[in-house]
Chains A and B, each alone.
Chain A
Amino acid sequence: MIKNAEWLVVGHSKDFPIRIGRTIHIKGVEIAVFRTSENELYAVENINPHPKRGPLTEAIVSGHYIYDPLYDWKIDLQTGIVQEPDHGQVKTFAVCEEGEEVKISLETV
């Protein structure tokens, strides 16, 4: 758990539909937020770990994994780790839901 973290309210629960990524800009960081079928929220930096980069928000969501929209890399939203046969890791951020508010901490998990 992250203690004493600075939590920022980034939107309303209904802004984050199931299995559709949303982009958020906070303090100069672009973040992609995903809600899984199990109703869990995940936030990752919206930069593809692929050497050619690109966004992640438009990925296909399956369980707590995403398939990136440009190169079809499979990325674990829990750890940010790119799955075999590819390699890399995307930055993940803590995200929580309090009442109807969705909050993110910029401290990386």
Chain B
Amino acid sequence: MINSKKKLVVIGNGMAGINTVEQILKLTDKYEITVLGSEPHPNYNRIMLSYVLEGSKTIDDIILNDLQWYADQGITLYTGKMVKSIDGENKKILTEDGLEIDYDVALVATGSQSFILPIPGKELPGVIGFRDIADCSAMLEAAKTYKKAAVIGGGLLGLEAAKGLVNLGMDVTVVHLMEDLMERQLDREASAMLKAELERQGIKFAMQMQTSEVYGQDRVQGLRFSDGSELEADLVVMAVGIKPNIQVAVQSGMETNRGIVVDDLMRTSVPDVYAVGECVEHRGICYGLVAPLFEQGSVIAKHLAGAETEGYMGSVVSTKLKISGVDVFSAGEFITQPEHTVIVAKDEWKRTYKKVLLRENKIVGTVLFGDVSESASLQKYVRQQTLMTDEIYGQLMGTGCSNHGSKTSSAETMADDEIVCGCNGVTKKAIVDAINDNGLTTVDEIKACTGATRSCGGCKPVVEQILQYVLGDSFKTSAKQGICSCTTLSRDEIVEAIKTKGLTTTREVMNVLGWHNDEGCSKCRPALNYYLGMINPDTYENEGDSRFVNERLHANIQKDGTFTVVPRMYGGVTTPEDLKKIADVSLKYNVKVVKVTGGQRLDLIGVRKEDLPKVWEELDMPSGYAYAKSLRTVKTCVGSQFCRFGTQDSMGMGEVLERKFERLDFPAKFKLAVNGCPRNCAESCTKDIGIVGNDGGWEIFIGGNGGIKARLADSLCKVKTDAELIDIVGSVMQLYRETGQYLERTSEWVERIGLEEIQKAVVQDTANRQALVERIEFALQQVEDPWKKIINDEDSRKNLFEVVTPSIV
């Protein structure tokens, strides 16, 4: 067979080239790939070199792709191979040592090198740049023998190098030509704060100094400045900028300027030759940061895979200084211009500074110092040029009221004794200590060790922030975590295995999939029980002993061990007869409190376990499922039957929906609301599915939540008929049943799956909607009322509810 794959040759084994290759591999397998690298190492993360210098990481830690990866991907890798030129006419790449490599498509990713000032003495031993592993090793080596270091350049890289050298015990002076440090990323205020902080950390500065000469005999001995003054130094690091590596491009007759000139599809002037990364000049800009190369790589990958792409439009660059204890961030425009509206907050006591620049009310730039917890959201706003609103302002600048637990609380500025997990009383210090002492890396481990996040989970974002803060860049949210500590398998892997392997019981799942813990735990057993029932609604036998007590006993346990009984009240509507019955039973069984719930029903609180079956029997009503991961209530307003504003019969529709979908298991509790008009008296914006009647039909909202993680529902669609409404409600429910993670509320589910995906699945794709409806109908055929079932089942009545009476006492 003829090899039909096209030959893709990548010149450069750095982050840009390999990231592009990775993105191509994700999209297509139509290329046979060869990579030529000049360094002897496999691909490593250049940004992390600062950590290698600082000593917090080794070179092995920052390897991105080891040799095995290249082998696994079928990539031919040449290391230590210098390319001479590209012969565009014959489509060959020529190396220094005489090799000729054919290509169909070539990718130039030669990166850049430190710009070395063209001054006398620049070639003296002891004068280096800060670009690669060799530079890094040279600095580590020099620090062993020498004392004094000068770093020329007060930009990002220079400061990181300086800090690294200070940590290595050297006496370091940063020489900077300008008045302000990092003047290309920071405004004057932030720059001054940065300088003060770095001085505290032991770095010295020689500002507004122009180096005219490096002097020394056999090795560098110092710098001489344009004003004639001198600075002794036995190591000089030049970090004044980068120079795109364009020799190969020049040799090949490619159009170059400062960098290799490319168009929006990253094409060079030579056909079928692309370029990416720091060697590139796009619309007049050469980028010296990582983020743009990912964006460029993605354009090339899509283009080469034959997918549609808009082209590269340039990047909004942002900066983060990688020095422990110094947090600096900037994005977009950062120097105040007359046309800007400026929001600024400076706190000299906490040493924080925050500036947000608006143009025509749009967020166009930011500078953060000391507290960068908002950097991710600000970067997004800047990129999208988001319109400033009261809400965003409140989130960024605080609104005056305390906002504990929200993402505005910064893990760093939080006091040690501040309670992070209010449910379990876990302080910040307890979490930080647990991370440091036990080497924890995931929220789950923190949960197991300290108890934080184990109850309501509302503090999870803060715990994540603390983890991120303590671990720095080694924190990875994507670390593989199973559904609980008994397994490393994810929800999707488990569901897939249940389907393909035909697993039928929780025990079988745990055995076949190699659970660490033979009988599982209180997290995975209820989850498996749900997944099995969802997949095989007709054949799966529900396992009561894998259910949480409430769902096993069909009532809500209270802290004194008594239970709450909630009868069903369809659409929140009851009758005087039913109320009378409820009152009679409550009196007879000594119910402590009768309470109206948030979902418009009656709680009968304080029933003894052994009385539950009798209470149900005498009520003779269906279970309200107040305890279940199931449809709880359908809250309604009065609607068109009585309300002068009502346009739709909300009580009627509420009852129809509740009767139709009750009793079915969901990943988590599920609440509906139906409103007769857009006044929204039944509060559909905080329900899993909220329905609002209007003059011509209904509007459906999904993913609302008023609980731990408050979220306003998203508008899914508008429908004209009741039948359509019921179909869409059913299909959303089934989609959630099939794709939701156990205990994941729809508010999280909608964000994870994406509103558009859900719209596609249940609104646009009517055939898919129909299939979902059929599956939920099938599942609905299997349900029965649990109260009635237990009343009629002597064994479970006895085993589950009665106290054992000893024969002899």
Contacts and interface: CB of A to CB of B under 8 A. Distances in A.
A, B from the same assembly: yes
Interface string A65-105: 00101101010000000001110000000000000010000
B559 A54 contact: yes
Interface string A19-46: 1101111110000010001000000000
B557 A24 contact: no
B303 interface: no
A55 B799 contact: no
Given A20-B799, A20-B800, A10 B806 contact: yes
Nearest to A16: B804
A58 B557 contact: yes
A9 B561 CA distance: 25
Nearest to B798: A15
B805 to A, nearest CB: 8
Given A20-B799, A23-B804, A60 B451 contact: no
A104 B478 CA distance: 50
A5 interface: no
Interface residues of A, number: 37
A24 B545 contact: no
A11 B448 CA distance: 37
Interface string B433-455: 00000000000000011110010
B799 A60 contact: no
Given A24-B804, A62-B522, A8 B448 contact: no
Nearest to A36: B519
A18 interface: yes
Contacts of B196: none
Nearest to A25: B803
Contact of B799 (A17, A26, A85): A17
B803 A11 contact: no
Contacts of A85: 448-451
A8 B808 contact: yes
Contacts of A69: 548-549, 557
B46 interface: no
B545 A33 contact: no
A82 to B, nearest CB: 12
A86 B517 contact: no
Given A10-B806, A33-B804, A54 B560 contact: yes
A72 B522 contact: yes
B546 interface: yes
B809 interface: yes
Given A17-B799, A53-B559, A60-B548, A67 B807 contact: no
B148 interface: no
Given A54-B560, A58-B549, A60-B522, A26 B800 contact: no
B27 interface: no
A15 B544 CA distance: 16
A62 B559 contact: no
B307 interface: no
Contacts of A54: 557, 559-561
B186 to A, nearest CB: 43
Interface string B590-633: 00000000000000000001000000000000000000000000
A62 B807 contact: no
Nearest to B553: A58
Given A18-B545, A69-B549, A11 B807 contact: yes
B808 A9 contact: yes
A11 to B, nearest CB: 4
B390 interface: no
Which of A59, A60, A72 lies at the interface centre, i.e. has the most chain B CB atoms within 10 A of its CB?
Answer: A60
A60 B557 contact: no
A58 to B, nearest CB: 4
B525 interface: yes
Contact of A84 (B449, B548, B609): B449
Contacts of B92: none
Contacts of A10: 804, 806-807
A33 B544 CA distance: 17
Given A8-B808, A72-B522, 17 more contacts: A8-B809, A10-B807, A15-B804, A20-B800, A24-B803, A24-B806, A33-B804, A54-B559, A54-B561, A60-B521, A60-B526, A60-B545, A60-B546, A60-B548, A61-B545, A62-B522, A85-B451
8 contacts: A52-B559, A60-B545, A60-B546, A60-B548, A61-B519, A62-B517, A62-B525, A85-B449
